[in-house]
């Protein structure tokens, strides 16, 4: 519709006829999910080798800011995505869970690299065999370490999940996982998160 | 004594085939692929460190432990040294002479303790804590002998050979299906 | 909606008890002395008197920094006692990345070993592989071919360049020079491109193995090296303009975090921290391994032992490494890239197609591995962070009986109380950054 033929007064005076552009319709849920998927703010949760690749992904060559992802937040309170980049040790596990609990809903987790996803090659006393035992994971990125391209793919997969998924997912109860160490003499059950 | 002993060691280098046990700084000496290894007793250790410090070995570059529980038999020990379950291995460096020296100390399993080297070599603080954490060898005189790598309430010493290397089983309880 | 982050149970889970910095009332004098960083500076009694006179307990505050903190280079946790803005005591709490690699190394064969150790120092993975391989070769008593030696030198020096570039990036980022971070990453990508061309991976290469290297240099490798050598000098000049000669940068680093050579030696500290005090000690020159006695390079030293010296040394070492790389280009000999010893080396791929024995041999080497004579050895090299040593005890089987890595960062971290004492808390980040710890190597 050309400028000349448009009725004067915009939406209020002329109704829908008054609009020529900047016009979208959709369900509220779709719009919220669309907005969410384009402003995911990751927390800097670098642990090991993968953290270097995560930083490289934010660097000039791979340029993560193309996806609206470059603002890595130092405080978990300001972040809604935790990229667990590296192996999670038994000593780090409670810390990781505490940081996850501090993040605001809605929140997502990417498990970056095989160590975070399954313990990788370090199946021993020190490493938690998969971070999904501590926090719920949305996307697993394979590789040791995953190249920045793999991380980007994981992030885009997550964006897709956010757009396609439910709007409200975890109604305020965290993951509700209780972890207990078995077989270790004298150990007490460790309850992580909320019961 | 220091100079004499050093000369002894240097002199013996030419005639390595002699069966007489070599000594350096008053402790039995062996060679492992060209590297000098001393085998002092636990009682000798603090005094030996003082001698070595005066002789120019200013840095302990590495201190670690070995658990020989399942080892089929060591050939590197001199006859006068009785093998024990644990060994503490100390690597010293003499920057001026560009020389290295390794100490292998035998530590019995029923009395796993050793004098701390921290007075002369403050850099052993973290290494001794790590050896304590991993092997349970206690260092007398260490100001802060706590675990360094494992969590504070961890049971056992992971690098001991009778410690299970495998993963610690983790069980899920009451994880609701929320996805 | 309730949050749980501040409930007592949750706090208790992250508590590490005596490993943490505790109130001065409950710990003994010797431990306080260490946390003050007063070793070699004051006598014990003097230190305690001075400390008490300065700051009564109720005027100080213990703060916790990390293990999840943007400027602690991974999962380092520091506990600082502050009086106002001044750091009185400092204690690093480590172990948050303890991976049990020394234990895992006992279950892997010598051929699989580099896969494991390469994940320790993830900014300079080739160095740990090199230390491990040299130790195994010492136990096996074999000499690798000359080409393999020079390939190893070329690759590790390229890796040193990329590691120091990473330091430039993170050091800039920690101090708020974000453009420096972008520049550092940009150049590091170029260095990684060459490493990827040769080894197939950007990090954790598993390229240097006992007996040589995994593969020969690919066609056109010279162009890749020359491209980098031509590209870097103007970029390093840019760094000089941006950082070295810039008053703000100098102001923030000069005189911050000073340590003396005596303290470094007593603490067993090596690498750029030791060299920043003016003590010229570089294993490449002083106890040469590979063929470093045949190349010409300078050992760069500082004079004040402060953060600026450590930054400048690393920048200068990039240039020295480029010098070595250039000489590697000229002197690269022809020949085998791995030892032709049937015991250690699998047969070439082409032989497997035509010979049953070669296939069996190949299979046995990759499943059982090769046996290493009983004994023990310690070999050390100069990594970008200092002396990197590997101690292996063999019991005659195909797995190491005990594998220990002397990690430079682990020892260098002990300087933190010394560097921090008396500095402002705002400088703490500069000091951590200038020590350049890699936590994977600290905790192993």
Question: What is the rounded average pLDDT of the residues B91-113?
Answer: 90
| Predicted local distance difference test score (pLDDT) of residue A172 | 46
pLDDT of amino acid C339? 86
Distance (Å, whole) CA A129 – CA A121: 10
pLDDT, tens digit (0-9, with 9 covering 90-100), for C257-295: 888 888 888 888 999 999 999 899 999 998 998 889 999
pLDDT at B135 over 50: yes
Which one of B91, B125, B143 has the shortest CB-CB distance to C414? B125
pLDDT band at A63 (very low <50, low <70, confident <90, very high): confident
Chain B residues close to A124, C-beta within 8 Å: 165-167
Q: What angle do CA C62, C68, C69 make, to 5 degrees?
A: 70
| Residue among A124, A128, A187 minimizing CB distance to B155 | A187
Using the predicted structure, report yes or no on whether residue A181 has a pLDDT greater than 90.
Answer: no
Would you call C86 an interface residue with chain B, using a CB distance cutoff of 8 Å?
no
Looking at beta carbons, which residues of chain A come within 8 Å of B158? 125-126
B63 pLDDT band, cuts 50/70/90, is: very high
User: Domain B24-69+78-163 classified CATH 3.30.460.80?
Assistant: yes
Q: How far is Cα A1 from Cα C208, in angstroms, rounded to an integer?
A: 68
Tokens 């230190």 belong to residue: C47
Q: Please check whether residue C322 is in contact with residue C161, taking contact to mean a CB–CB distance below 8 angstroms.
A: yes
Average pLDDT, stretch C236-263?
89
Strand partners, C338: C212
As a whole number, mean pLDDT of residues B26-39 equals: 85
Instruction: Give Cα A20 distance to the centre of its chain.
Output: 37
Cβ contact A105–C1 (<8 Å): yes
- Least CB-CB distance to B152: which of C17, C104, C393? C17
The mean per-residue pLDDT over the stretch B25-30 comes to: 83
Task: Write down the pLDDT at residue C379.
Answer: 92
Domain hosting A72: range is: 25-164
pLDDT at B12: 41
The answer on pLDDT for C444 being more than 50 is yes
In a domain, A151, yes or no: yes
C376 touches chain B (CB under 8 A): yes
Separation of alpha carbons C124 and C161, rounded Å: 9
Q: Quickly state the pLDDT bin for A191 (edges 50, 70, 90).
A: very low
Q: Across the interface, do A123 and B163 touch by the CB < 8 Å criterion?
A: no
- Which of C278, C404, C441 is the best residue to mutate to test the B interface, defined by the most B CB atoms within 10 Å of its own CB? C404
**pLDDT, mean of residues C234-247:** 90
Tell me the mean pLDDT in the region A190-195: 42
User: Does C391 score more than 90 pLDDT?
Assistant: yes
Domain with residues C101-406, CATH architecture: Orthogonal Bundle (1.10)
* Partners of chain A (3+ Cβ pairs below 8 A): B, C
Q: What is the mean pLDDT of residues B13-27?
A: 63
Neighbours, chain C (3 or more CB pairs < 8 A): A, B
Residue A119 resides in a domain: yes
* C-alpha span between A154 and A157 (Å, rounded): 5
Asked if A69 has any chain B CB less than 8 Å from its own CB, the reply is no
Quick: pLDDT tens for C15-37. 777 777 766 666 666 666 666 65
Closest-CA residue to C323 (of C346, C347, C300, C357): C300
Q: Residue A142 maps to which CATH number?
A: 3.40.50.12280
**pLDDT recorded at residue B92:** 92
pLDDT digits (tens, 9 = 90+) for C91-132: 888 888 888 888 888 888 998 889 999 988 888 999 999 999
Mean pLDDT of B56-74: 89
Q: Which of C149, C69, C15 is nearest to C425 (CA)?
A: C69
In this complex, is the C-beta atom of B153 within 8 Å of any C-beta atom belonging to chain C?
Answer: yes
Instruction: Nearest chain B residue to C396 by CA: give it.
Output: B72
Q: How sure is the predictor about B9, in pLDDT bands with cuts at 50, 70 and 90?
A: very low
Residue B100 to residue A135: CA distance in whole angstroms: 48
For residue C12, give the H/E element and its range: helix C8-13
Structural domain count, chain A = 1
Q: So what's the pLDDT on residue C3?
A: 38
Q: Judge: C107–B152 Cβ closer than 8 Å, yes or no.
A: no
Average pLDDT taken over every residue of chain B: 79
Kindly write down the DSSP assignment for every residue of C182-221, as one continuous string. Answer: HHHHHHHHHHHHHHHHHHS-SS----EETTEESSPPPTTH
**Distance from the B40 Cα atom to the nearest Cα atom in chain C, whole angstroms:** 17
Residues of chain C with C-beta less than 8 angstroms from the C-beta of A82: none
**A164 interfacial to chain B (CB closer than 8 Å):** no
Closest residue in chain A to residue C74, using alpha carbons only: A47
Residue A128 contacts B where some CB pair is shorter than 8 Å? yes
**pLDDT at residue C89, as a whole number:** 82
C197 in reach of chain B (CB within 8 A): no
Question: Please, are residues C99 and C190 in contact by the beta-carbon 8 Å criterion?
Answer: no
Sheet containing strand C375-383, edge to edge, reads C375-383, C386-394, C400-406
Which of residues 79 through 98 in chain A touch C, CB cutoff 8 A? 86-87, 89-92, 94-95, 97-98
pLDDT per residue over B139-177, tens digit each?
Answer: 988 888 888 888 888 888 888 888 876 655 544 444 444
- Report the pLDDT averaged over residues C352-375: 85
User: What is the tens place of the pLDDT at every residue in A30-59?
Assistant: 888 888 888 888 887 888 888 888 888 888
Chain C residues with CB-CB distance to A102 below 8 A: 3, 5
Domain boundaries, chain B: 24-69+78-163
Say if residue C38's pLDDT is above 70: no
pLDDT of residue C316: 92
Interface touch B71/C401, C-beta < 8 Å: yes
Average pLDDT score, chain C: 85
The stretch C79-99 carries a mean pLDDT of 86
């Amino acid at each position: 519709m050309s400028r000349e033929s448009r009725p004067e007064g915009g939406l209020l005076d002329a109704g829908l006829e008054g609009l020529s552009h900047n016009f979208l319709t959709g369900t509220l849920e779709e719009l919220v999910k669309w907005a969410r998927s384009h402003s995911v703010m990751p927390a800097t949760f670098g642990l090991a080798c993968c953290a270097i690749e995560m930083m490289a992904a934010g660097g000039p060559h791979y340029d993560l800011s193309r996806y609206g992802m470059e603002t890595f937040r130092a405080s978990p309170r300001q972040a809604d995505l935790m990229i667990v980049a590296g192996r999670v040790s038994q000593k780090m596990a409670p810390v990781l869970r505490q940081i996850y609990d501090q993040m605001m809903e809605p929140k997502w987790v990417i498990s970056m690299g095989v160590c975070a996803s399954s313990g990788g090659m370090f199946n021993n006393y020190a490493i938690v065999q998969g971070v999904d035992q501590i926090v719920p994971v949305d996307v697993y990125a394979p590789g040791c370490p995953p190249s920045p391209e793999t991380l980007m793919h994981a992030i885009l997969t997550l964006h897709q999940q956010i757009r396609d998924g439910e709007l409200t997912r975890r109604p305020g109860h965290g993951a509700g996982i209780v972890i207990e160490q078995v077989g270790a003499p004298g150990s007490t059950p460790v309850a992580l998160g909320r019961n | 004594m220091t100079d004499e002993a050093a000369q002894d060691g240097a002199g013996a280098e030419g005639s390595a085939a002699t069966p007489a046990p070599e000594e350096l700084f008053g402790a039995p000496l062996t060679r492992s692929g060209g590297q000098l290894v001393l085998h002092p007793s636990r009682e000798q250790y603090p005094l030996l460190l003082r001698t070595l410090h005066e002789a120019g070995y200013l840095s302990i570059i590495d201190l670690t432990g070995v658990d020989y529980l399942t080892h089929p038999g060591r050939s590197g020990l001199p006859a006068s040294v009785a093998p024990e379950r644990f060994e503490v291995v100390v690597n010293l460096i003499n920057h001026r002479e560009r020389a290295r020296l390794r100490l292998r100390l035998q530590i019995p399993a029923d009395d796993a303790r050793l004098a701390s080297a921290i007075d002369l070599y403050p850099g052993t603080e973290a290494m001794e804590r790590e050896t304590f954490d991993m092997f349970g060898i206690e260092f007398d005189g260490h100001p802060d002998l706590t675990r360094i790598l494992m969590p504070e309430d961890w049971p056992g010493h992971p690098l001991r050979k009778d410690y299970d290397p495998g993963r610690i089983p983790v069980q899920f309880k009451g994880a609701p299906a929320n996805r | 909606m309730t949050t749980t982050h501040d409930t007592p149970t949750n706090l208790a889970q992250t508590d590490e008890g005596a490993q943490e910095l505790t109130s001065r009332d409950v710990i003994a004098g010797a431990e306080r002395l260490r946390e003050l960083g007063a070793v070699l500076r004051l006598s014990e009694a003097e230190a305690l008197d001075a400390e008490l006179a300065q700051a009564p307990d109720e005027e100080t505050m213990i703060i916790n920094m990390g293990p999840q903190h943007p400027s602690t280079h991974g999962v380092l946790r520091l506990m600082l006692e502050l009086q106002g803005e001044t750091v009185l005591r400092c204690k690093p709490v480590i172990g948050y990345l303890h991976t049990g690699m020394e234990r895992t190394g006992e279950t892997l064969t010598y051929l699989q070993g580099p896969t494991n150790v390469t994940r320790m120092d993830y900014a300079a993975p080739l160095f740990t592989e090199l230390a491990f391989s040299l130790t195994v070769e010492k136990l096996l008593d074999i000499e690798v071919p000359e080409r393999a030696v020079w390939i190893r030198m070329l690759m590790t020096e390229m890796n040193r360049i990329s590691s120091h570039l990473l330091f430039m990036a993170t050091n800039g980022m920690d101090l708020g020079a974000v453009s420096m971070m972008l520049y550092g990453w940009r150049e590091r990508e170029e260095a990684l491109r060459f490493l990827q061309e040769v080894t197939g991976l950007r990090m954790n290469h598993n390229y240097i193995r006992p007996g040589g290297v995994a593969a020969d240099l690919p066609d056109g490798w010279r162009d890749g090296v020359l491209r980098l050598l031509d590209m870097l000098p103007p970029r390093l000049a840019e760094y000089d303009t941006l950082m070295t000669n810039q008053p703000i940068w100098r102001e923030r680093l000069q005189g911050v975090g000073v340590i003396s050579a005596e303290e470094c030696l007593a603490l067993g500290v090596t690498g750029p921290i030791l060299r920043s005090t003016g003590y010229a000690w570089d294993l490449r020159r002083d106890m040469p391994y590979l063929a470093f006695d045949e190349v010409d390079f300078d050992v760069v030293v500082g004079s004040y032992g402060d953060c600026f010296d450590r930054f400048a040394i690393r920048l200068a070492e990039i240039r020295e490494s480029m010098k070595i790389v250039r000489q590697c280009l000229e002197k690269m000999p022809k020949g085998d890239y791995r030892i032709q010893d049937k015991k250690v080396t699998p047969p070439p791929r082409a032989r497997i197609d035509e010979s049953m024995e070669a296939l069996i041999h190949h299979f046995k080497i990759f499943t059982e591995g090769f046996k290493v004579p009983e004994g023990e050895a310690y070999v050390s090299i100069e990594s970008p962070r200092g002396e990197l040593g590997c101690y292996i005890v063999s019991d005659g089987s195909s797995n190491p009986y005990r594998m220990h890595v002397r990690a430079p960062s682990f020892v260098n971290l002990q300087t933190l109380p010394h560097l921090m004492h008396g500095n402002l808390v705002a400088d703490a980040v500069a000091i951590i950054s200038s020590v350049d710890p890699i936590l994977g190597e600290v905790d192993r």
